[in-house]
C-alpha cells in the first residue's frame, strides 16, 4: 500500500493501476486456455444508470489471478492477467494509496517515469505462456508492448462535485495525467482538462495519451478502466499490423525491383498470391480486434471509449493500417496485371512460333 501523507491538506483515497499489454500471437484459443489456467469470470461493468445496458465482449477474455509482488520501494502490487482472443495479454497491477494532492502528483510522476513495469512483468508473462503454447496460434518471436496508468480517486475530503474538483484542483489533475512534478502552464493545463467526461455531477474522467485520472466510486470506475484497457489493446494490435505491413511492402518493393523483364513477370504470381494471403489474414485479425466489444444502448460508454481511443492514438494507427492495406491491394492488382501481361505475351509468342513452324514445314514440302 502506498501512503501519501502531508499534514494540513485534505486526504485522498483510491488506487493507482498500471496496464501492461503485450501482443504475443495472432490468436488465443480461449477454450484451451479455460482448461489450463485458474480463471475467474469477467463481470459486466456497472453502468452509470439503471437502464438494462452494458458493455459486452464478443468473446470475453480469460482472466487469471496474478501473484502479488513488491517494488523496490516496498509497494505491494496485486493484479490479474487477461488473455484476449486476438492475441493480446493484458496485465493489470494496482496499489492502494491515501494522502493529498501534492503527494499524488509525486506518486504519479514516479510511477510513470521512474519504474519500468514492462520489464518487471514480461518475465511473469513469459513464464505463464510457456505452459500455454497449445492455446496460441502463430506466436510471435518478438513482442510489442504498451503501458498505461490510471489514477483512481474514490474518496476526496468533502465529497466535492466533478466541477468543484476540476475547478479547485485542475492543475494537480493535469500534472497527474501528464506525470509531471513541475507546474504546467495554464494553456497546457487547459489542454489536458479538455479531455474530460462526466455522467453524474460527482464523477469525472480526464483521459490522456499515457495516463488517466478517475474520480468515481470503485464500481463506477470499472467501466472506464475496462474501456481504457480495451482501447490500449486495440492500439497495440494496430501498431503490430502497421509493422507487419511495413515489412511486407518493403519486401514487395524489393521483389519488384529485382524481377524486371518479360520472364520475371511469371514469378510475380507466387509473390502476388502470398501478398493476398497475408492481406486476408490482416483484414480478418483487424476486424476481430475492432469488433471485440459492443456497446448495447449505452451512449455514455460509447462516448467514453471514443474519447479514450482518440487520446491513446487508435484512430491514427487504424488509418495508417488502412492506407497500407490499400497500397498493398494496389500492388497486388499491379502484380497480377503484370503476370497477366507476361502470360498473354507468352501465349502470343507461342502461337507465333507454332505458326512459323507450320509454315516452315509447309513451304519445305513444296518443290522449288
pLDDT tens for each residue of 144-170: 999 999 999 999 988 999 999 999 999
Q: Return the pLDDT at 73.
A: 82
**Average pLDDT, integer, range 97-126:** 94
pLDDT of 247 > 90? The answer is no
Q: Return the pLDDT at 354.
A: 77
Residues 148 and 208 in one domain: yes
> Is the sign of the CA dihedral 173, 178, 184, 186 positive or negative?
negative
Q: Are 331 and 252 in contact (CB under 8 A)?
A: yes
Residues 236 and 155 in one domain: no
Residues 86 and 194 in one domain: yes
Domain assignment present for residue 112? The answer is yes
Considering the chain, what is the average pLDDT of its residues?
83
Residues 42 and 65 in one domain: yes
pLDDT of 120 > 80? The answer is yes
Q: Return the pLDDT at 356.
A: 73
Domain assignment present for residue 136? The answer is yes
Q: How many other β-carbons are positioned within 10 Å of the β-carbon of residue 105?
A: 24
> Is the sign of the CA dihedral 278, 147, 13, 175 positive or negative?
negative
Domain assignment present for residue 368? The answer is no
CA distance linking residue 94 with residue 71, whole number of Å: 12
Range of the domain at 154: 2-224
Residues 159 and 264 in one domain: no
Q: Return the pLDDT at 49.
A: 45
Select from 175, 201, 224 the last residue of a domain: 224
CA distance linking residue 227 with residue 220, whole number of Å: 12
Residue with cell 497449445: 134
Question: For strand 54-57 and strand 12-28, is the pairing parallel, antiparallel, or unpaired?
Answer: unpaired
pLDDT tens for each residue of 266-318: 555 566 666 777 777 777 767 766 666 666 556 888 899 899 999 999 989 88
**Average pLDDT, integer, range 338-352:** 65
At residue 147's C-alpha, the angle toward residues 204 and 12, to 5°, is: 35
Domain assignment present for residue 315? The answer is yes
Question: For strand 88-99 and strand 76-83, is the pairing parallel, antiparallel, or unpaired?
Answer: antiparallel
Residues 115 and 262 in one domain: no
Helix then strand then coil, in percent of the chain rounded to 5, is 55, 25, 20
* Residue 14 pLDDT level (bands cut at 50, 70, 90): very high
Distances (CA, A) of 204 to 152, 216, 242: 10, 7, 34
Select from 224, 241, 268 the last residue of a domain: 224
Residues 137 and 242 in one domain: no
Q: How many domains does the chain have?
A: 2
Least confident residue range of 101-110, 179-188, 282-291: 282-291
Residues 205 and 299 in one domain: no
Select from 194, 224, 254 the last residue of a domain: 224
Residues 188 and 245 in one domain: no
Q: Return the pLDDT at 267.
A: 55
Residue 242 vs residue 294, higher pLDDT = 242
Residues 134 and 46 in one domain: yes
Residues 13 and 92 in one domain: yes
CA distance linking residue 247 with residue 236, whole number of Å: 17
C-alpha cell of 40?
Answer: 475467474
DSSP bridge partners of 136: 28
Residues 245 and 201 in one domain: no
Question: For strand 88-99 and strand 12-28, is the pairing parallel, antiparallel, or unpaired?
Answer: antiparallel
pLDDT tens for each residue of 196-212: 999 999 999 999 999 99
pLDDT tens for each residue of 32-88: 998 888 655 455 444 454 433 456 777 889 999 998 888 888 888 999 999 999 999
By CB atoms closer than 10 A (0-12, 13-18, 19+), residue 253 is exposed
Task: HSE, CB side, 13 Å, CA atoms: give it for residue 263.
Answer: 0
Concatenate the DSSP letters of all residues of 160-223 into one string.
--HHHHHHHHHHHHHHHHHT--SPPPHHHHHHHHTTEE-SSTT-EEEE-SSEEEEES-HHHHHH
Amino acid at each position: 500500500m502506498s501512503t501519501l501523507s502531508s499534514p494540513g491538506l485534505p486526504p485522498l483515497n483510491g488506487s493507482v493501476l498500471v496496464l501492461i499489454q503485450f501482443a504475443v500471437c495472432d490468436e488465443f484459443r480461449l477454450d484451451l486456455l479455460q482448461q489450463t489456467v485458474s480463471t475467474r469470470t469477467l463481470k459486466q461493468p456497472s453502468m452509470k444508470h439503471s437502464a438494462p445496458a452494458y458493455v459486452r465482449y464478443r468473446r470475453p477474455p480469460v482472466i487469471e489471478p496474478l501473484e502479488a509482488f513488491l517494488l523496490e520501494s516496498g509497494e505491494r502490487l496485486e493484479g490479474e492477467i487477461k488473455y484476449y482472443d486476438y492475441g493480446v495479454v493484458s496485465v493489470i497491477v494496482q496499489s492502494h494509496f491515501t494522502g493529498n494532492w501534492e503527494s499524488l502528483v509525486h506518486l504519479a510522476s514516479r510511477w510513470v517515469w521512474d519504474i519500468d513495469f514492462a520489464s518487471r512483468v514480461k518475465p511473469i508473462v513469459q513464464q505463464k505462456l510457456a505452459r500455454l503454447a497449445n492455446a496460441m496460434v502463430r506466436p510471435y518471436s518478438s513482442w510489442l508492448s504498451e503501458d498505461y496508468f490510471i489514477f483512481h480517486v474514490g474518496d476526496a475530503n468533502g465529497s466535492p462535485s466533478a466541477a468543484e474538483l476540476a475547478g479547485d484542483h485542475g492543475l494537480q489533475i493535469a500534472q497527474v495525467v501528464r506525470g509531471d512534478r513541475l507546474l504546467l502552464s495554464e494553456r497546457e493545463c487547459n489542454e489536458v482538462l479538455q479531455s474530460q467526461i462526466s455522467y453524474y455531477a460527482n464523477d469525472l474522467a480526464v483521459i490522456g495519451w499515457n495516463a488517466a485520472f478517475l474520480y468515481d466510486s470503485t464500481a463506477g470506475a470499472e467501466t472506464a478502466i475496462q474501456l481504457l484497457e480495451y482501447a490500449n489493446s486495440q492500439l497495440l494490435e494496430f501498431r503490430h499490423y502497421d509493422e507487419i505491413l511495413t515489412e511486407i511492402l518493403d519486401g514487395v518493393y524489393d521483389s519488384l525491383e529485382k524481377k524486371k523483364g518479360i520472364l520475371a513477370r511469371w514469378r510475380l504470381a507466387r509473390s502476388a498470391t502470398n501478398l493476398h494471403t497475408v492481406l486476408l489474414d490482416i483484414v480478418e485479425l483487424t476486424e476481430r480486434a475492432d469488433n471485440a466489444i459492443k456497446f448495447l444502448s449505452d451512449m455514455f460508454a460509447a462516448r467514453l471509449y471514443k474519447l479514450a481511443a482518440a487520446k491513446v492514438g487508435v484512430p491514427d494507427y487504424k488509418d495508417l493500417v488502412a492506407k497500407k492495406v490499400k497500397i498493398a491491394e494496389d500492388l497486388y492488382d499491379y502484380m497480377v496485371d503484370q503476370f497477366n501481361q507476361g502470360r498473354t505475351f507468352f501465349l502470343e509468342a507461342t502461337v507465333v512460333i507454332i505458326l512459323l513452324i507450320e509454315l516452315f514445314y509447309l513451304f519445305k514440302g513444296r518443290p522449288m
